[in-house]
Chain A
Amino acid sequence: MEYGVAVLLLLWLLFSAVNQLPLEKITSLLRRVDYFHLIPRWHFFAPKPAVFDFHFAVRLFASEGQIARDWKVISEVPRRTARAALWNPARRVRKLRADAVLSLLRTAHSLDEDSQRLAVISLPYLLLLNHACDRSRGENATLIQFAVLTADGFAADGAPNVIVRSEVHAIDA
């Protein structure tokens, strides 16, 4: 039994090591079969560090072409307090939103120009759309559009950049 467990742990370690290497074909295959996120990728803030903030904005329509509420940022980052060193659930939502945006950009990048519209049925797009609908619950609107912007943070030199602008969708009841 010891040998069986040893082989399992060694395989786990081996796949983990391989997943750190710049071997896109192999690592994407590992990601596809890793349903339980057992194979880590330990590239914290590297090689491209997170040097900007993602902001998430939503616009609501009363009907087609008639704006009910113009663009409004719904992802303000509250000032972090000392408590965040022990208790910080908000980072989970921010992390998912950021991962969804990056995943959506990768998906869009992988599609050719004629297939770009398929990105709207991708998981990250649906997650962001659902997030926009959830945050706009109770508003008097029938259609919704979201956008993702990047900004430089505290010492921002320029205006925020729009990197994603969704199509207009019916709000889920």
Chain B
Amino acid sequence: MLEGAFRPAFTLSAVALSFAVLTTTLEFFFLRNEFERGVFSWRVLQTFSLQAHSPLTLRLRDAMFGRHGMAAILGVRLLSAAGLCVGALLFDRVTCMCALAGVFTTSLLLSYRCRIGLEGADIMAIIVAAGLFVSVVRFSPGIWTTMGFGFIASQTCLSYFTAGTAKLFSSQWRDGSAVYKIANTETYGSEGAALFFRRSPLLSFAASWTIILFEMTFPLALVAPSAVALAIIILGIMFHAVNAAFMGLNGFLWAFVATYPAVWYCHLLIGAFLGR
């Protein structure tokens, strides 16, 4: 069963990751003026550790993260994303490994350069790239696949469980006001959604608890019966699609959906281990 599950799981995950990387890279290209002299300016961001480096390292950093260096990093990232998509669809191991190495390395460089203002989806993309790289060292189910997919699935479960638990400790989430208050912000909400939840506090309460329960119970997807696991995964896709559509959190959609094939693969692996 796992023999047949590995290939579609890897392909789906890699294609979703390539979409995530493609989107963020094009968004960074679009913000090139912000990177040159605006809010992401390297001239300012480099000050966080000027004293910790030798003059040679500083020059190297300037070359790497200045205008041309950034264009090169984003160019490699774009090629890696496209290569990953093609490699995954053709199931070509070498192409996939090169592309994943490109995604991983450029992600680290962007993380180092930006320091501030990155989001959870960026870190999740790094985790998926690392996990997929490990899983594809051998192109058949085995220890490498288990390690790679197991790592991605563990981080995904940790992310949902932590987010749900943190919400459980918040009085604003428990009393249901958080959903209305978030919907009421111009940054993450909309006038229509704010009005809807203000008029229906009961729905705001229900939405709060649905999110808390969904996030806290997500790890059950690993051990629950397959129908339940599938329902949790479908709920997850809907959750991120709604967040992208109504909150503008588009980066999370592809980055988190890219982890679900690994969750499903680990569900099957645990099922096989338990003799289910």
Same assembly: yes
B273 at the binding interface (Cβ < 8 Å)? no
Contact A124 B147 (CB under 8 A): no
Contact A80 B248 (CB under 8 A): yes
CB distance from A43 to the nearest CB of B (A): 5
With known contacts A51-B184, A130-B41, A154-B191, A2–B166 Cβ distance under 8 A:
no
Which residues of chain A in 12-36 are interfacial with respect to chain B, using CB atoms and an 8 Å cutoff?
Answer: 12-13, 16-17, 20, 35-36
Contact B245 A153 (CB under 8 A): no
CB distance from A159 to the nearest CB of B (A): 16
Of all chain A residues, the one with the shortest Cβ separation from B133 is A5
CB distance from A140 to the nearest CB of B (A): 19
Give A127 to B42 CA distance when docked, in angstroms: 10
Of all chain B residues, the one with the shortest Cβ separation from A135 is B38
Give A16 to B143 CA distance when docked, in angstroms: 22
CB neighbours (8 Å) of A154 from chain B are: 184-186, 189, 191, 194-195
Q: CB-defined interface of B191-222 with A at 8 Å, one 1/0 digit per residue? A: 10011001000000000000000000000000
B264 at the binding interface (Cβ < 8 Å)? no
A100 at the binding interface (Cβ < 8 Å)? yes
With known contacts A6-B147, A17-B158, A127-B44, A91–B249 Cβ distance under 8 A:
yes
Contact B182 A45 (CB under 8 A): yes
With known contacts A5-B147, A52-B185, A127–B170 Cβ distance under 8 A:
no
Which one of B118, B155, B170, B198 contacts A47 once the chains associate, using CB atoms below 8 Å?
B170
Contact B147 A9 (CB under 8 A): yes
With known contacts A46-B167, A51-B172, A91-B249, A5–B155 Cβ distance under 8 A:
no
Q: CB-defined interface of B148-170 with A at 8 Å, one 1/0 digit per residue? A: 00010011001110110011011
Which one of A20, A37, A96 contacts B123 once the chains associate, using CB atoms below 8 Å?
A37
B95 at the binding interface (Cβ < 8 Å)? no
With known contacts A12-B151, A96-B117, A99-B116, A40–B123 Cβ distance under 8 A:
yes
A103 at the binding interface (Cβ < 8 Å)? yes
Total residues of chain A contacting the partner, CB 8 A:
59
CB distance from B124 to the nearest CB of A (A): 7
Interface segment, B26-34, B69-77, B85-93?
A: B26-34
Contact B167 A53 (CB under 8 A): no
Among B39, B169, B173, B244: residue with most chain A CB under 10 A: B39
Contact A134 B245 (CB under 8 A): no
CB neighbours (8 Å) of A36 from chain B are: 108, 111-112
Contact B167 A47 (CB under 8 A): yes
Which residues of chain B in 36-70 are interfacial with respect to chain A, using CB atoms and an 8 Å cutoff?
Answer: 37-41, 43-45, 47-48
Contacts across chains A and B counted by CB atoms under 8 Å: 199
Contact A20 B162 (CB under 8 A): yes
State the main secondary structure of chain B at its contact with A.
helix
Of all chain A residues, the one with the shortest Cβ separation from B46 is A123
Contact B27 A38 (CB under 8 A): no
B119 at the binding interface (Cβ < 8 Å)? yes
CB distance from A97 to the nearest CB of B (A): 6
Which one of B43, B119, B158 contacts A20 once the chains associate, using CB atoms below 8 Å?
B158
Give A127 to B27 CA distance when docked, in angstroms: 20
Contact A47 B40 (CB under 8 A): no
CB distance from B194 to the nearest CB of A (A): 5
Which one of A46, A52, A123 contacts B47 once the chains associate, using CB atoms below 8 Å?
A123
Give A124 to B45 CA distance when docked, in angstroms: 9
CB neighbours (8 Å) of B40 from chain A are: 92, 96
Which residues of chain A in 122-153 are interfacial with respect to chain B, using CB atoms and an 8 Å cutoff?
Answer: 123-124, 126-127, 130-131, 134-135, 152-153
Interface contacts beyond A17-B158, A85-B241: sample of 5 additional A-B pairs, CB < 8 Å, sorted by A = A37-B123, A38-B126, A89-B28, A123-B45, A127-B41
Closest 5 CB pairs of A and B: A96-B117, A46-B166, A47-B170, A51-B181, A42-B159
A-B contact pairs, 18 of them (CB 8 A): A5-B144, A12-B130, A13-B151, A17-B158, A20-B162, A37-B111, A37-B118, A43-B163, A43-B166, A47-B167, A49-B170, A80-B190, A88-B251, A93-B31, A100-B117, A123-B45, A134-B39, A154-B194
